Amino acid sequence: MPITGTFAPVPTPLRRNGRLDQPALRRHLEWLHGRDLDGALILGTNGEFASLAMVERSFIARHAALLKPPGMRLLLNAGSCALPEALKLADLAWRHRYSAILLPPPWYFRGAPVSGVADFVRRVLDHARLPLLLYHIPQLTGVPVSDALLDAIGPHANLAGVKDSTGDESELRRLSTRFAGAGYLVGNDRLVAAAYAAGGSGSITACASVVPDLVAAIPRDAAQQAKLNSVRAILDKFGLNAAVKAVLRRMGMGEYVARPPLEDLPEQGAKALFGMLDALGVIEGR
């Protein structure tokens, strides 16, 4: 069954002591659930999964499932360069009733043969008891979900589609065609309307964490794309991850402290960010 709808890739709320802020995660998930979203992605790129130890990822994944409002669908990023870790996260997602898992190609050995990457993916597909979305974000992984890779993977009952975070319209056309009738979820805010126009099944985009109503409105009203583009441009200007967390702090969700190598947005930058967003009238205050 295709994965459809609007999902927010939620930031992981860490306290200054480096531990998960469980009340903040609950508040954010409850807030999102009341604003027309279909669900949330846990431990995606915006969730800074690559900065977290495996024990932390497992802890966060379990608690997100416990803290979410009834009826909210969750997706879990099971990405890892270590196959046993990816399999463990796939098992955890199944035990805690996630709706699907995401899997980027293993990224450290960028010169690995396509056949080896395909073998890695197939092993996760064979092991998983949930639908799996391939996660295409080569600007970070250096390993694309290419046609050659898809051909090498071949059809599989658990392969539910792809999350395309390239922000590249040519990739949108390629992958939405490749997964026509399956699941194509766009991962860039600027292409939400274009993805639906191309037959895509949904979106998992950063702005959905702070302006969920706006992102969720686009399937019904493509004219809202222009306003979403303005919001995304402002967030990008100040650094996407840091800006999203600054907005959530302002809303009273929690501390949302960055872990090195990432950094929090400085106070002056946050003031400028809020001024620009307030001028658009799109961010809820608390």
pLDDT tens profile 187-213? 999 999 999 999 999 999 999 999 999
- CATH superfamily assigned to domain 5-221: Aldolase class I (3.20.20.70)
Q: What is the pLDDT of residues 8-23, one digit of tens each?
A: 999 999 999 999 999 9
Q: What is the DSSP string of 203-268?
A: EE-GGGGT-HHHHHHTTT-GGGHHHHHHHHHHHHHT-HHHHHHHHHHHTTS------TTS-PPPHH
Q: What is the CA radius of gyration of the chain?
A: 18
Backbone angles phi, psi at 171, to 5 degrees: -70, -35
pLDDT tens readout for residues 20-38: 999 999 999 999 999 989 9
Ordered by start, the domain boundaries in the chain are 5-221
Q: What is the mean pLDDT of the chain?
A: 96
Instruction: Report the distance separating Cα 40 and Cα 72, nearest Å.
Output: 8
Taking the C-alpha atoms of residue 186 and residue 64, their distance in angstroms, rounded to an integer, is 23
- pLDDT classification of 1: cutoffs 50, 70, 90: low
Short-list 77, 72, 56, CA closest to 9: 77
Q: Which residue has the tokens 């379990």?
A: 62
Checking if the pLDDT of 61 tops 50, the result is yes
